[in-house]
Amino acid sequence: MSTVTLDITGMTCAACAGRVEKALAAVEGVEKAQINLALEKAEVTLANGASPEALVAAVDATGYGAHLRSERAADRRAEEEALAATRRADERQTLLRFIISAALTIPLVIGVLPAMTGLGAALIGPWVQFALATPVMVVAGSRFYREAFAAVRGGAANMAVLVSLGTSVAYVYSAWRVFAGSAEGHLYFEAAAVVLTLVLLGKYLEARAKSGASAALTALGSLQPDTAERITGAGVETVSVDLLSAGDRLLIRPGARVPADATVVSGHSSLDEALLTGESLPVSKDVGDAVITGTVNGDGALEVTVDAVGADTRLARITRLVEAAQSGTAPVQRLVDQISAVFVPVILVLAALTFAGWLLVGAGFEAAMVAAVSVLVIACPCALGLATPTALVAGTGAAARAGVLIRDIETLERAHTVGTVALDKTGTLTLGQPAVTDIVSAEGILDNDVIATAAALEHASEHPLAKAVRRRAEESDMALAAVSGVTAIRGRGLSGEVDGETALVGTAEMMAEHGIDVGAVEDQAADLENQARTLAFVARKGRLLGLLGFADTLRPEAKEAIAALADDGMKTLMLTGDLAAVARKVAGDLGIDDVRARLSPEDKLRVLGDLQAAGGQIAFVGDGLNDGPALAAADLGIAMSGGTDVAREAAALTLMRPDLRLVPAALEIARKTRRTIRQNLIWAFGYNVIGVPLAAFGFLSPAFAGAAMALSSVSVVTNAAWLARWRPKFQTAAKAD
């Protein structure tokens, strides 16, 4: 199987999307075709050997346009820029057509207003009305006539068919009366002109809002540079990013974008990762640190070794996830698609029945025509087709900007029902690395003496506790003493010579074995053990210097995140394989409701299953390899940034930076996106349910129906555009500060 993406042109409503999807699905070798009306693209899954060119031909045969996206990054960006330029030109042309149409329609409406309101005769004659309306039919109507003809030729009916039929009937009937010399009474030139002008305005506003809603995806696509500076034996050469491969050594100059995922091998700088991870502050990078494609280097030059290029980069994976989420079909949209497929034919039948019904009750041809035209005009399916995709594009785009990747659309359906958030401890609630939290010095000994001796002995050790001691020494700018003869005693600690004096760091048992009395700090040691600290005693020249306490450091934002979940009415639960005492301490510090400790991956699955069986919807937040099963089994899996590939693949949501405050933010944007979809659908369905009967029974004029139709589409897209402005509460608060 392979997946290809096509940019589709000419689609205006759900009926268009349905027609294109059906045409693509009928092509030999197509396993699945999915249309996104808001993004104007198709995702097609092909069996091996199927022809992508056949897809383009199938779309062309329906009267719409299609273009295969290139695989090369530079070509793809050029295509996207050309497509964006075409869409901007179309927007400008639509605006110009609207201005011309409005300039002709306004005097036409003013001229016939007395006759429309029953206050007197029209201020302008029939021939003037004809002269004003005809250019509007050409300037504004030609677009809809072309779209309608293409749809009918392809065997479908869409919004353009309804608009074209309705306005043409009103115009032709009025023109026939003028040319026949029977123009007494009311003509309907202004109805046709007003409908076309307002629908044109609606299409312009709709296009503007749609382009704004997909801004996040556009921004992601423009991050990767076209070229890179590769270091070779002959010097530095500028090459296309498509020519890079893993292992290449690159120079990243100050202010340049990183062209590939890589590891720093020389230099120091700070990188701006805001567009990719939502992190507002530059992130410091030193030798050994990873840099991400598309991030912007600060004021220091870096030399890096390439780890991943092209489709394997983190930027490419993020872009694919966002595209997949925006192109997906929400469960509720399936019903909408089924309704949209028969909507236009049903409206045509209703308009015919309306016309016949008015004639049967003796109302006359004119009244019957006006009611039928109103039904055709007001029943535009645009709002129905745009309700879901515009909200999805806006919601997933806003989430991506904030640092949350929504993996699939059904996530939105599950997120609003979550009542409990279960969290792993190590690497999720904590940083996953121990730190020196306590220093207890013996009488007459300084804290720095304890740290300096321990750091000297630990200078070459890769043990996590040794690294914590060295970090503490570096924070105090300590110069380490000369050390020799360091020996590791398994399960006990280290011994060696520091400045020629015997020194030890390790357990109480190790101290006892060397005849060193720890009684001076015994009470403090007991207190620290009760707080679930890991202990290391430090001695030098046969005398105890003091005691170090270690603990895994809580994420600085963890308490705020747990409080935010509680404010949203969520219960919190810790699932960890760590000791019960350690787990209870962390839970107490953070305010977590429930703790389950000493759990294996299978135990975590069992706990989640029990909670789900009791009727609860559970979200699980984790980062490790052993969290993969729980992330997949939970109703909503949330993977932490920096976690394992297994965790990220199993999760429905991925946090692009290790900030736990994104967990309540992710649940919030998922709920808001789902709510916006519901609001849009209620508006779109309600508008048609109310509007069509009113038009059929003669309570709406064609002009008013046209205004209402345009308002319907614009309101749906505008509602989605408001969602695109969403920001997490903690980011909004920080900005306000």
Q: What is the average pLDDT across 28-54?
A: 80
Q: How far apart are the first and last CA of the chain?
A: 51
* The residue to which tokens 């345009």 are assigned: 710
Nearest to 551, CA basis, from 523, 588, 519: 588
- Reported confidence tier of residue 603, pLDDT bands at 50, 70, 90: confident
Q: Which amino acid is at 713?
A: S
Q: What is the average pLDDT across 538-552?
A: 91
Residue 609 has pLDDT above 80, yes or no: yes
Neighbours of 482 (CB within 10 A): 9
Nearest to 15, CA basis, from 321, 281, 337: 337
Q: Topology of 2-69 in CATH? A: Alpha-Beta Plaits (3.30.70)
Backbone angles phi, psi at 290, to 5 degrees: -85, 145
Nearest to 301, CA basis, from 265, 267, 262: 267
Nearest to 267, CA basis, from 288, 292, 237: 288
Q: For 433-553, which CATH class?
A: alpha beta
Environment class of residue 153 by beta-carbon count within 10 Å: exposed (0-12), middle (13-18) or buried (19+)?
exposed
Assigned CATH for 225-309: 2.70.150.10
Residue 50 has pLDDT above 70, yes or no: yes
Residues 426, 658: contact at Cβ < 8 Å? no
Residue 504 has pLDDT above 90, yes or no: yes
Residue 543 has pLDDT above 50, yes or no: yes
Question: CA neighbours within 13 Å on the CB side: how many for 270?
Answer: 9
Predicted confidence at residue 213, as pLDDT, reads 47
Predicted confidence at residue 734, as pLDDT, reads 55
Q: What stretch of H or E contains 550?
A: strand 543-554
| Beta strands in 194-234, from DSSP E residues, in sequence order | 227-232
Model confidence over 272-284: pLDDT tens digits?
876 565 555 577 8
Q: What stretch of H or E contains 422?
A: strand 420-423
Residue 147 has pLDDT above 50, yes or no: yes
Residue 154 has pLDDT above 70, yes or no: no
The residues, ordered by sequence, that sit 6+ positions from 272 with a Cβ below 8 Å of its Cβ are 282, 295, 296, 298
Average pLDDT, the chain: 81
Nearest to 394, CA basis, from 216, 543, 174, 139: 216
Q: What is the average pLDDT across 52-75?
A: 78
- Please spell the DSSP secondary structure of 354-385, one letter per residue: HHHHHHHTT--HHHHHHHHHHHHHHT--HHHH
Model confidence over 206-230: pLDDT tens digits?
666 556 545 555 666 667 788 899 9
Model confidence over 391-444: pLDDT tens digits?
877 888 888 888 888 876 677 777 878 889 999 887 788 887 788 989 999 988
DSSP assignment letter at 481: P
Residue 73 has pLDDT above 70, yes or no: no
Indicate the pairing of strand 501-506 with strand 420-423. Answer: unpaired
Residues 626, 577: contact at Cβ < 8 Å? yes
Residues 38, 390: contact at Cβ < 8 Å? yes
Residue 265 has pLDDT above 50, yes or no: yes
CA distances from 606 to 34, 421, 599, 600, 637 (A): 37, 16, 10, 10, 16
Nearest to 653, CA basis, from 215, 314, 322, 388: 322
- Give the integer Cα–Cα distance in Å for 98 and 314: 44
- Give the integer Cα–Cα distance in Å for 501 and 545: 13
Backbone angles phi, psi at 125, to 5 degrees: -80, 170
- Give the integer Cα–Cα distance in Å for 358 and 370: 10
Ramachandran quadrant class, 310 (left: phi over 0; alpha: psi -120 to 50; beta: rest) = left
Q: Which amino acid is at 69?
A: R
Predicted confidence at residue 331, as pLDDT, reads 58
Helix orientation angle between 159-180 and 365-378, rounded to the nearest 10 degrees: 150
The tokens describing 58, both together, are 């199938």
Backbone angles phi, psi at 599, to 5 degrees: -100, 135
Model confidence over 299-312: pLDDT tens digits?
889 999 999 887 77
Model confidence over 76-128: pLDDT tens digits?
667 667 777 777 788 888 889 989 999 998 998 888 777 666 666 778 888 99
Neighbours of 101 (CB within 10 A): 25
Indicate the pairing of strand 501-506 with strand 493-498. Answer: antiparallel
| Residue 75 annotated as catalytic | no
Environment class of residue 704 by beta-carbon count within 10 Å: exposed (0-12), middle (13-18) or buried (19+)?
buried
* The residue to which tokens 């530095």 are assigned: 236
Residue 169 has pLDDT above 70, yes or no: yes
Predicted confidence at residue 545, as pLDDT, reads 93
Predicted confidence at residue 439, as pLDDT, reads 93
Q: Which of 36-50, 158-172, 249-263 is predicted most confidently?
A: 249-263
- Reported confidence tier of residue 649, pLDDT bands at 50, 70, 90: low
- Give the integer Cα–Cα distance in Å for 553 and 583: 13
Model confidence over 432-470: pLDDT tens digits?
778 898 999 998 889 999 999 999 998 877 777 888 899
Neighbours of 529 (CB within 10 A): 13
Q: What is the pTM of this model?
A: 0.63
Predicted confidence at residue 209, as pLDDT, reads 55
* CA angle centred on 369, ends 110 and 687, rounded to 5°: 75
Residue 34 has pLDDT above 90, yes or no: no
Residue 633 has pLDDT above 70, yes or no: yes
Predicted confidence at residue 152, as pLDDT, reads 75
Model confidence over 349-389: pLDDT tens digits?
888 999 899 999 888 887 888 888 888 777 765 666 667 77
Residue 268 has pLDDT above 60, yes or no: yes
Residue 329 has pLDDT above 60, yes or no: no
Q: What stretch of H or E contains 470?
A: helix 464-475
- Give the integer Cα–Cα distance in Å for 324 and 318: 10
Question: CA neighbours within 13 Å on the CB side: how many for 309?
Answer: 20
* The residue to which tokens 């109805």 are assigned: 191
pLDDT: is 510 or 408 the higher one? 510
Residues 232, 253: contact at Cβ < 8 Å? no
- Give the integer Cα–Cα distance in Å for 230 and 250: 4
Considering the candidates 7, 248, 261, 424, report the single residue annotated as catalytic: 424
Residue 544 has pLDDT above 90, yes or no: yes
The residues, ordered by sequence, that sit 6+ positions from 540 with a Cβ below 8 Å of its Cβ are 453, 498, 501, 502, 503, 504
Assigned CATH for 403-429+555-661: 3.40.50.1000
- Give the integer Cα–Cα distance in Å for 683 and 554: 46
- Reported confidence tier of residue 19, pLDDT bands at 50, 70, 90: confident
Environment class of residue 304 by beta-carbon count within 10 Å: exposed (0-12), middle (13-18) or buried (19+)?
buried
Delimit the domains of the chain by residue range. Answer: 2-69, 82-216+322-395+673-724, 225-309, 403-429+555-661, 433-553
Predicted confidence at residue 370, as pLDDT, reads 81
**Percent of the chain surpassing pLDDT 90:** 17
Residues 19, 158: contact at Cβ < 8 Å? yes
* The residue to which tokens 């034996």 are assigned: 233
The tokens describing 663, both together, are 């967990």
What's the length of the chain? Answer: 737
SS3 559: helix
